[in-house]
Amino acid sequence: MTVLAYQDFLQTASQKLSDSHNIGRRNAVLVVNFERLAELDGVLGFAMVDEIIRKISWQLRDSLNPEDLVGVTGRYQISCLLVDLLTDAHAMLAAHKILRILMHPFVSGRRSIVLAARIGVAVSNRDDHTLDQLMSNASLAIRQARLEQEPIKLFVAEMEDPLLLQIDLWSDLGNAIETRELYLSYQPQISTTSGKIESTEALLRWNHPNRGPIRPDKLIQVAEGTELMSKLTLWVFHTALRECSEYRKAGLDAGVSINFSADDLRDPELPELVLQGLSLWGVPPGNVTVELTETAVMENHVGTLDTLHKLKDTGLRLAMDDFGTGYSSMARMLDLPLDEIKIDMVFVKHMTTRRTHDRIVDSMINLAHRLNLSVVAEGVEDFATYERLRALGCDMIQGYFIGKAMPLPELIEAVVNQSPKFLKMTLQDSADN
């Protein structure tokens, strides 16, 4: 019965784990992390902190069964292998017992120190759980405990996915920009007065070779905050302009709306890149709308407002996306060189059944018009909503009622075939359908 050093712990615990798997026993790994010790290094000195960890590891050793193993597996970390457990709950009981011990202040000379600890628990009840796997699962549980401000967390399979998925997707996304896995789909926006398609919104699609289609909001989340975001936006911008010029040649006299993220607005080179794209593809800037979310636009970053004005100077239009869901200050809104607001579908969805929603949409349309902004309503799924929005003076409509987003060839085909739904949609046509 001793406390093991890192390598000895790994070796002995691996051996013990495989022995006990052979006779069908249930085991668990507990990883105990001391988050405050890094600060104490500077205050008490390294030798003292090492001494604290050593003493605590002995206390834990004494509190567990003789068969269990305890090792110091990092400067601020102790790991335990619990063997031959009756149930998973016994692993949690052991974790609580350890936590109780650690709640007592640790006395060192004249000082008494409270050590904040977090414990991640990973139970093995399948034969294929190696020590390495259990240790990383317990570490993921600690990460989750930190996020939730909890002292103890049991690993569950769902914890693994988001993080691993993020890492995998991020590296795959870099390649996907170069290959043909990414493409854009275009969702028509029609005018309520003419019934014609005025613009389309370019929406990103990723058909992952192994995982299938990846939701665009998820994909943006993976790219955001990394250098991939500006690469991705530039790809979207160029592709959307090129394809827009193609559908214009095929006879669809419409503009295109492109989503930019909050990250993009922090890039001082963006306006110049946008200018280059516009001149390369020859789409008139007045037919190009950049959609920004309320959160991105309202962000108080020094460069954001400047970038927005420079973007506006290129001649393109600016739209505030998902209007009503973020937080807007009216004062800030007046500073922004906006052309359009897009009312979020949460308000549109229920407007024919809930009076308050209808009132909110009505007020948004009036407010926008008073500020000389045009209004697009998103998520219009039925004729009744379309008709009501038209009566309220909403300028443009987008939603499944008009059409879902479709890849370029499909859009062009609909145009060539003069699909009645997209090209000459009038109230009468819809009522007949």
d(CA 433, CA 431): 6
**Residue 236 contact partner, candidates Ca ion, ligand C2E, none, CB within 5 to 8 A by sort of partner:** ligand C2E
Q: Which residues of 261-297 are buried (b: 16+ CB within 10 A; e: fewer)?
A: bbbbbbbeebbebbbebbeebebebebbbbbbbbebb
139 scored as a contact of ligand C2E (CB under 6 A): no
User: Using CB under 5 A as the criterion, what x/- string covers residues 232-271 for binding Ca ion?
Assistant: ---------------------------x------------
Torsions phi, psi for 322 (to 5 deg): 50, 40
| Smallest gap from residue 259 Cβ to Ca ion (A) | 5
| Smallest gap from residue 281 Cβ to ligand C2E (A) | 16
| Smallest gap from residue 266 Cβ to Ca ion (A) | 19
User: Using CB under 6 A as the criterion, what x/- string covers residues 334-363 for binding ligand C2E?
Assistant: -----------x------------------
Q: Is the distance from CB of 236 to CB of 270 less than 8 angstroms?
A: no
| Smallest gap from residue 271 Cβ to ligand C2E (A) | 17
Transcribe 216-260 into DSSP letters: HHHHHHHHTTSTHHHHHHHHHHHHHHHHHHHHHHTT---EEEEE-
Q: State which residue, 215 or 355, has the beta carbon closest to ligand C2E.
A: 215
H/E stretch holding 407: strand 406-407
Considering only residues 200 to 259 of the shown chain, the ones binding ligand C2E according to CB under 6 A are: 203-204, 215-217, 220, 236, 259
**Residue 81 contact partner, candidates ligand C2E, Ca ion, none, CB within 5 to 8 A by sort of partner:** none
CA 63 from chain center: how many Å? Answer: 42
What number of chain residues touch ligand C2E (CB under 6 A)? 21
The residue ranges of DSSP E strands in 77-163, in sequence order, are 77-85, 106-108, 111-113, 117-124, 152-154
Interface pick for ligand C2E out of 98, 176, 399, 415 (rule CB under 6 A) = 399
Tokens of 170: 């991020």
**Residue 192 contact partner, candidates Ca ion, ligand C2E, none, CB within 5 to 8 A by sort of partner:** none
Considering only residues 38 to 77 of the shown chain, the ones binding ligand C2E according to CB under 6 A are: none
| Smallest gap from residue 366 Cβ to ligand C2E (A) | 22
Q: Is the distance from CB of 27 to CB of 83 less than 8 angstroms?
A: yes
Interface pick for Ca ion out of 172, 263, 264, 321 (rule CB under 5 A) = 321
Torsion over CA of 89, 94, 96 and 98, rounded to 10 degrees? -170
Interface pick for ligand C2E out of 246, 339, 362, 381 (rule CB under 6 A) = 381
Interface pick for ligand C2E out of 379, 408, 422, 425 (rule CB under 6 A) = 379
d(CA 286, CA 204): 22
**Residue 217 contact partner, candidates Ca ion, ligand C2E, none, CB within 5 to 8 A by sort of partner:** ligand C2E
End-to-end, the C-alpha distance of the chain in Å comes to 81
H/E stretch holding 326: none
Interface pick for Ca ion out of 291, 340, 358, 395 (rule CB under 5 A) = 291
Torsions phi, psi for 281 (to 5 deg): -100, -10
Q: Is the distance from CB of 151 to CB of 145 less than 8 angstroms?
A: yes
Which window, 80-88, 130-138, 163-171, 379-387, contacts ligand C2E (CB under 6 A)? 379-387
**Residue 139 contact partner, candidates Ca ion, ligand C2E, none, CB within 5 to 8 A by sort of partner:** none
Interface pick for ligand C2E out of 225, 400, 416, 427 (rule CB under 6 A) = 400
Interface pick for ligand C2E out of 172, 294, 321, 358 (rule CB under 6 A) = 321
d(CA 412, CA 246): 9
d(CA 293, CA 327): 10
Q: Closest Cα to residue 219, out of 227, 228, 210?
A: 228
Tell me the residue nearest to ligand C2E as measured from the CB: 399
| Smallest gap from residue 166 Cβ to Ca ion (A) | 23
Q: Which residues contact 180 (CB under 8 A, 6 or more apart)?
A: none
Q: State which residue, 48 or 360, has the beta carbon closest to ligand C2E.
A: 360
Which stretches of the chain bind Ca ion, using CB under 5 A? 259, 291, 321-322
Which stretches of the chain bind ligand C2E, using CB under 6 A? 187, 203-204, 215-217, 220, 236, 259-261, 321-322, 345, 379-381, 398-400, 405
